[in-house]
């Protein structure tokens, strides 16, 4: 059963779609910085409840694509459409905080946590996108703001249990080992109750044991709670093990798409990674 936000009865997965339905459509995206092209005519679809891996050599445009979906970059051409709550959102016309409220959350290649705050406070910061109490009541912590904070705190405790980090909930993030910080960043993204979760190299810099743990958490979030996941990952073993489909970029263009097995045998993909 999905995690429930006690008192609000909202699941961890914020999607209203059925598994297999199109949740995100990227249509002919072009992105350039000055005269340097980052993405050239990239199109793809993401389906509800799947894990889609985006792979490619360094500089292929993978992070630029995630930044375009999350609103950090604005493509010069093309559309990115997200379907949720019975609505169609054109993400290319929205700001990052609006995209987050629509149901898209992400983590970053470089950890972007509040290092001097506790794990619990970092996780609570992710939930603020859904809080409804006004500024006055939030400042004085009374009435609706107090009840809302209590309900969200219960939800955050569920995430802490899911990620197996109860022992560090009151520790400052900056004092944690790198692998635990990556786990906290995943938790903060989950606190936003995403329909679509974007993960930029969630296992970068981890040892084998930490990668296995992170892969298990990603699969739990996807399989048990139905959250759709798009991830960038360089470890091909991880990609082969946990992905439903794979999209391959090279020099800003999509050169292959299919199951992990199909992509691994594609001559264009082999050439992009290994050369002629």
Higher pLDDT, 142 or 253: 253
Q: What is the pLDDT of residue 236?
A: 87
- pLDDT band, residue 156 (cuts 50/70/90): confident
- In a 10 Å sphere around its CB, with 0-12 CB exposed, 13-18 middle and 19+ buried, how is residue 208 labelled? exposed
Angstrom CA distances, 71 to 22, 42, 106, stand at 20, 16, 11
pLDDT tens string 53-65:
999 998 899 999 9
Q: What is the pTM of this model?
A: 0.86
CATH T-level topology, domain 22-274: Rossmann fold (3.40.50)
- pLDDT band, residue 192 (cuts 50/70/90): confident
The order of strands in the sheet holding 228-232 is 104-106, 196-200, 228-232, 51-55, 245-250, 253-258
| Spatial distance between the Cα atoms of 18 and 15, rounded to a whole number of angstroms | 8
Q: What is the pLDDT of residue 131?
A: 55
- pLDDT band, residue 16 (cuts 50/70/90): low
Which of 33, 112, 111 has the alpha carbon at shortest distance from 68? Answer: 33
Instruction: Report yes or no: 55 and 44 within 8 Å, Cβ to Cβ.
Output: no
| Spatial distance between the Cα atoms of 12 and 90, rounded to a whole number of angstroms | 23
| Spatial distance between the Cα atoms of 176 and 57, rounded to a whole number of angstroms | 30
- pLDDT band, residue 81 (cuts 50/70/90): very high
pLDDT above 90: residue 51: yes
- pLDDT band, residue 234 (cuts 50/70/90): confident
User: How is 47-116 classified by DSSP, letter by letter?
Assistant: ETT-EEEEE-STTSSHHHHHHHHTTSS--SEEEEEEEETTEEEEGGGS-HHHHHHHTEEE--SS----TT
Domain limits, the chain: 22-274
Q: What is the pLDDT of residue 152?
A: 76
- In a 10 Å sphere around its CB, with 0-12 CB exposed, 13-18 middle and 19+ buried, how is residue 93 labelled? exposed
12-16, 59-63, 129-133, 204-208: which is most confident: 59-63
Lowest mean pLDDT, pick from 53-67, 90-104, 136-150, 215-229: 136-150
User: How is 2-65 classified by DSSP, letter by letter?
Assistant: --B-TTT--BSS---SPTTSEEEEEEEEEEEETTEEEEEEEEEEEETT-EEEEE-STTSSHHHH
């Amino acid at each position: 059963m999905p995690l429930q936000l006690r008192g609000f009865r909202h699941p961890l997965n914020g999607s209203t779609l059925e598994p297999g339905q199109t949740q995100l459509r990227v249509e002919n995206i072009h992105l350039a910085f000055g005269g340097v092209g980052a993405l050239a005519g990239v199109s793809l679809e993401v389906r509800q409840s799947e894990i889609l891996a985006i792979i490619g050599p360094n500089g292929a445009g993978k992070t630029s694509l995630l930044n375009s979906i999350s609103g950090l970059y604005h493509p010069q051409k093309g559309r990115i459409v997200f379907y949720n709550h019975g609505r169609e959102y054109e993400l290319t016309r929205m700001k990052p905080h609006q995209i987050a409220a629509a149901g898209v959350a992400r983590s970053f290649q470089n950890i972007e946590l509040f290092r001097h705050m506790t794990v619990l406070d970092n996780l609570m910061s992710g939930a603020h996108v859904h809080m409804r109490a006004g500024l006055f009541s939030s400042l004085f912590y009374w009435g609706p703001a107090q009840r809302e904070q209590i309900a969200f705190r219960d939800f955050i405790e569920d995430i802490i249990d899911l990620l197996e980090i109860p022992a560090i909930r009151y520790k400052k993030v900056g004092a944690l080992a790198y692998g635990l910080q990556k786990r906290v960043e995943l938790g903060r993204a989950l606190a936003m109750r995403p329909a679509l979760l974007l993960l930029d190299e969630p296992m970068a810099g981890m040892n084998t044991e930490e990668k296995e743990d992170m892969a298990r958490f990603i699969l739990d979030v996807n399989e048990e709670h139905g959250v759709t996941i798009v991830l960038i990952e360089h470890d091909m073993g991880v990609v082969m093990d946990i992905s439903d489909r794979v999209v391959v970029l090279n020099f800003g263009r999509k050169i292959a798409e299919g199951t992990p097995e199909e992509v691994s045998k594609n001559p264009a993909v082999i050439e992009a990674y290994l050369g002629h």
